[in-house]
Amino acid sequence: MDLATVVGLSVGMLLIVGSIVMGGNFMIFIHIPSLIIVFGGAFMATMINFKLGEMIGVAGVLKKAFFSDSTNPVATVEMICEISRTARKGGLLAIEKEVDKIEDVFLKKGLEMVVDGTEPQTIRGIMETEISYLQQRHTSGANIFNQLGMYAPSFGMIGTLIGLIAMLQELSDPSNIGAGMAVALITTFYGALGANMFFLPLTGKLKTRSAEEVVFKEMVIEGVLSIQMGEHPNNIARKLLNFLPPKEREQANTDAK
């Protein structure tokens, strides 16, 4: 679970709802037609921009914002260094049993190509192509939430205009103007809240997640090729630790720090 996402959304909503409750009548902020206009309209407009399959898979994309990847960069560096020691002692074929036990699919695929005797340029090309398409998928997911963040305020304004038109038809009764104006402005509130509390922040988190995963996979590529080239484990560790933040480097249980 990503605590930053959960705490940010929870506390943010708590502050907004708390402020509304302290201000008086909470129920005036609940208006179902306005919710339908803003979020239904934003979702449908966003759907026009993307393929149906991408929109259906939005729940899977959203999951990345709330749950951290299970990969452990420090443990991966240590694993790569240990495999490199085995390869230097017994040759590349000696790591085959260790490769079968690896859970990380990307690392396992790279080392399988090493064991098969694939050329380094081919290995790099295949693995970098996978990263490229991974970035495309992540970008598509982030763009969905970015578009929702763009359209939500616009549909909030559309809802407000609808409310104002309806209110202007009732000018014969001045007592209804205040209530009509309040209802009209609710959609603007929903649009601004949805964009700035949910959609745009989630866009940023998904981009951050994507960048982290790309850096991790680039580190794996360098590790795989270093094993194939027969580099010393200490040199491999020094190289791979450069991909990690300073705090994670300190955690690495390797000979090179």
Q: What is the pLDDT at residue 181? A: 81
What is each CA distance from 86 to 27, 99, 192, in whole angstroms?
67, 11, 57
pLDDT of 120-166, one tens digit each? Answer: 999 999 999 999 999 998 999 999 999 999 999 999 999 999 988 88
Of the candidate ranges 69-78, 146-155, 191-200, 220-229, the one whose mean pLDDT is the lowest: 69-78
Q: What are the domain boundaries of the chain?
A: 31-71+125-246
pLDDT at 254 over 70: no
The answer on pLDDT for 95 being more than 70 is yes
Q: What is the pLDDT of residue 256?
A: 46
- 117-121, 137-141, 180-184, 187-191, range with the lowest pLDDT: 180-184
pLDDT category at 253 given cuts 50, 70, 90 is low
Contact 65, 5 (CB under 8 A): yes
Confidence of residue 186 (pLDDT cuts 50, 70, 90): very high
Cβ neighbours of residue 32 under 8 Å, at least 6 residues apart?
Answer: none
In the block, tokens 């009548």 appear at: 25
In angstroms, the Cα distances linking 159 to 33, 222, 254 are 9, 53, 60
Mean pLDDT for the chain overall: 90
Q: What is the mean pLDDT of residues 2-29?
A: 90
User: Cα separation of 243 and 220, whole Å?
Assistant: 10
Each residue's pLDDT tens digit, 156-181: 999 999 988 888 877 777 777 777 78
pTM: 0.85
Residues of the chain with pLDDT > 70, as a percent, come to 96
